[in-house]
Amino acid sequence: MKNKNHHRWIHRLPIFMTGVALSLIVANPGICEVTPKAKDDTVTQTIETLKQSDQRWIQINLSKQRLIAWEGKTPIYAIVISTGKKSTPTRIGSFKIQSKHKSTRMRGRNYDVPDVPYTMYYQGSYGIHGAYWHNKFGTPVSHGCINVAPNHAKWLFNWASVGTPVFIHK
CATH code, 10-169? 2.40.440.10
**Strand partners of residue 80:** 66
Which pLDDT score, from 0 to 100, does residue 122 have? 98
8 Å CB contact between 142 and 126: no
Handedness of CA 113, 115, 118, 124 (dihedral sign): positive
- Indicate the domain borders of the chain: 10-169
The CB-based long-range contact list for 40-43 (8 Å cut-off, 24+ gap) reads 42/94, 43/93, 43/94, 43/167, 43/169
Which pLDDT score, from 0 to 100, does residue 72 have? 96
Which pLDDT score, from 0 to 100, does residue 7 have? 36
Helix/strand/coil percentages in the chain, nearest 5: 15, 45, 40
8 Å CB contact between 43 and 96: no
Does the global pTM surpass 0.85?
Answer: no
Q: Using CB atoms within 10 Å of the CB of residue 7, give its burial: 0 to 12 exposed, 13 to 18 middle, 19+ buried.
A: exposed
* 143 among known catalytic residues: no
The active-site residue, picked from 129, 143, 152, 169, is 129
* 32 among known catalytic residues: no
**Strand partners of residue 146:** 128
The active-site residue, picked from 6, 32, 101, 145, is 145
Which pLDDT score, from 0 to 100, does residue 33 have? 42
How far apart (Å, rounded) are the C-alpha atoms in residues 70 and 56?
Answer: 6
Which pLDDT score, from 0 to 100, does residue 43 have? 79
Residue stretches of the chain with pLDDT short of 70:
1-40
